[in-house]
Amino acid sequence: MTASSKKLFVKTFGCQMNVYDSGRMADALAPAGFVRTETPDDADLIILNTCHIREKAAEKVYSEVGRMRGIKQARRGAGQETLIAVAGCVAQAEGEEIVRRAPVVDLVFGPQAYHRLPALVGRAQRGEAVVDTDFPAEDKFDHLPGASPERIRTAGPTAFLTIQEGCDKFCTFCVVPYTRGAEVSRPAAAIMDEARRLVELGTREITLLGQNVNAWHGAAPGGGEWGLGRLLHALAGIDGLERLRYTTSHPRDMDDELIAAHRDVPQLMPFLHLPVQSGCDRVLALMNRRHRRSDYLRLVDRIRKARPDIALSGDFIVGFPGEDEVDFEDTMELVRDVGYAQAFSFKYSPRPGTPGATMEDQVPDEVRGERLNRLQALLRHQQHNFNEGCVGTRLPVLLERPGRKVGQLVGRSPYLQPVNVDADAALLGEVIEVVIEEAGPNSLFGRLPQVRDEANPVVMESRF
């Protein structure tokens, strides 16, 4: 470590996009001498990378800031300075209010400002309270460094790669169009380059990220424009890249080419996160989802025809303003019809500044809670059945990291289930067949196949 190196601690809240962004912030700060550290206690710069999607996210940030203030004071007592920064979506939404309420915060910046970070930190070091929540016209992707030393150190068998940011859909419950701004797609060539570099560093599985990832439409390498289906084909051509995934998608943007990619690109894993939010047309219209229940069901049918072994995951919101008991039952019925391998479900949480927050007929919290319990019981049951259905089959597993027990490794199945298996650490980073022997609520347990299994292979075919 050089004498000039400084320590950076980043605490990440929220989605995978934020996890990726935290890496990008570290990348942007590496040339300024910042090296990431695992604990805030000795950090020269603490960044809280925040999420604003639901509930008292902002409150959580203020209590975290309080904790960090203690560290700042202790270090100051020892003659060292610590800068505290609030980044991400709460920063974007609250802006100056954060510095007003918590003067201990030195720096507030939104998701569009990461490439300006060294300059912003420089200003904060000179004692200025810096707030940067502008949405500049230029493409922030253009300014982000590629594979920095930080990224090289952290590249593992699986990696995230942001291909698209922002959202133009304006669902009436959602802050993303306000905090992340308009949809921006990265050019295909830049994505391909980053993917190639990751694969050279040992990555075997890439998950393409975007708030509305399947709305991606980027400049094609030879001119013209590609959609996500075409991009997946191109990525699948990278030697050594064994698995592809993408998240999160909107039903409206599942075009024919993308559905066909699920049939034609073997590297594309048979697992799709396809949020529907509600199973009731009236509520979907109030949410401005721009699809009906029947559109979603038809889409699921077409995707299953293209890739019969596909497993689905979804997002659901219960208790959106105006949702009554019958509407909620529509959602339950849709869940029963579709059958999910896994899902996320939430109580509606009014977000300031979104149309939903001021709609009439807000649903009382007890009712929202009670509906959420019922929905989650059903989804848990489906996930349990799905996991149980894997027992006795063989699944290809990408081994990612050592397990909790000595001699054990943990990997992911095609359906994103963590799989625990006794295997030699030399197999890390490889895709191997695992005989699944046991299912837990959230993970699977298996063993490596033995020669006698070869006579009798059992492979998963259809899910529901």
Point out which span in 69-77, 81-89, 170-178, 291-299 binds ligand SF4 (CB under 6 A).
170-178
Nearer to ligand 5AD, 204 or 351 (CB): 351
Nearer to ligand SF4, 317 or 335 (CB): 317
- Choose from ligand 5AD, ligand SF4, none: what does 107 bind? Cβ within 5-8 Å by kind: none
- Choose from ligand SF4, ligand 5AD, none: what does 18 bind? Cβ within 5-8 Å by kind: none
CB 83 within 8 A of CB 125: yes
Cα gap 64→70, rounded to integer Å: 10
Cα gap 78→86, rounded to integer Å: 24
Query: Minimal distance in Å, beta carbon 250 to ligand 5AD?
Result: 9
DSSP one-letter code for 268: B
Nearer to ligand SF4, 154 or 288 (CB): 288
In this structure, the dihedral spanned by the alpha carbons of residues 159, 230, 246 and 414, taken in order and rounded to 10 degrees, is -80
CB 98 within 8 A of CB 117: no
- Choose from ligand 5AD, ligand SF4, none: what does 351 bind? Cβ within 5-8 Å by kind: ligand 5AD
Q: Report the Cα 97 to chain-centroid distance in Å.
A: 27
Point out which span in 151-159, 167-175, 233-241, 254-262 binds ligand SF4 (CB under 6 A).
167-175
Nearer to ligand 5AD, 45 or 341 (CB): 341
Nearer to ligand SF4, 60 or 290 (CB): 290
Query: Minimal distance in Å, beta carbon 14 to ligand SF4?
Result: 12
CB 311 within 8 A of CB 339: no
Residue 69 binds ligand SF4, judged by CB under 6 A: no
Residues near ligand 5AD (CB under 6 A) are 53-54, 173-174, 275, 277, 315, 317, 346, 348-349, 351
Nearer to ligand 5AD, 9 or 160 (CB): 160
Query: Minimal distance in Å, beta carbon 364 to ligand SF4?
Result: 23
Residue 250 binds ligand SF4, judged by CB under 6 A: yes
Nearer to ligand 5AD, 275 or 403 (CB): 275
Cα gap 94→89, rounded to integer Å: 8
Helices (H), 339-396: 365-390
Q: Report the Cα 387 to chain-centroid distance in Å.
A: 22
Residue 211 binds ligand SF4, judged by CB under 6 A: yes
- Choose from ligand SF4, ligand 5AD, none: what does 53 bind? Cβ within 5-8 Å by kind: ligand 5AD
Indicate the residue whose CB is closest to ligand 5AD: 315
Nearer to ligand 5AD, 89 or 108 (CB): 89
Query: Minimal distance in Å, beta carbon 348 to ligand 5AD?
Result: 5
Q: What are phi and psi of 410, to 5 degrees?
A: -120, 135
CA-CA-CA-CA torsion sign (125, 129, 131, 132): negative
H-run or E-run covering 436: strand 431-439
Which of 176, 209, 241, 300 is the binder for ligand SF4 (CB under 6 A)? Answer: 176
Nearer to ligand 5AD, 115 or 250 (CB): 250
In this structure, the dihedral spanned by the alpha carbons of residues 104, 97, 45 and 74, taken in order and rounded to 10 degrees, is 20
Helices (H), 52-187: 57-77, 88-94, 96-101, 117-125, 149-154, 176-179
- Choose from ligand 5AD, ligand SF4, none: what does 167 bind? Cβ within 5-8 Å by kind: ligand SF4
Query: Minimal distance in Å, beta carbon 244 to ligand 5AD?
Result: 21
* End-to-end Cα distance, the chain: 54
Which of 170, 240, 369, 402 is the binder for ligand SF4 (CB under 6 A)? Answer: 170
DSSP one-letter code for 358: G
Which of 111, 177, 210, 356 is the binder for ligand SF4 (CB under 6 A)? Answer: 177
- Choose from ligand 5AD, ligand SF4, none: what does 227 bind? Cβ within 5-8 Å by kind: none
H-run or E-run covering 438: strand 431-439
Residue 171 binds ligand SF4, judged by CB under 6 A: yes
Residue 167 binds ligand SF4, judged by CB under 6 A: yes
- Bridge partners (DSSP) of residue 247 are 209
Give the up-direction half-sphere exposure of residue 166: CA atoms within 13 A in the CB hemisphere: 18
Kindly determine how many residues on this chain lie close enough to bind ligand SF4 according to the rule CB under 6 A.
10
Which residue's entry shows tokens 């029947």?
294
Cis peptide leading into 248, omega within 30 of 0?
yes
CB 418 within 8 A of CB 426: no
Cα gap 271→414, rounded to integer Å: 7
Residue 212 binds ligand SF4, judged by CB under 6 A: yes
Query: Which residues make up the interface to ligand SF4 (CB under 6 A)?
Result: 167, 169-171, 174, 176-177, 211-212, 250
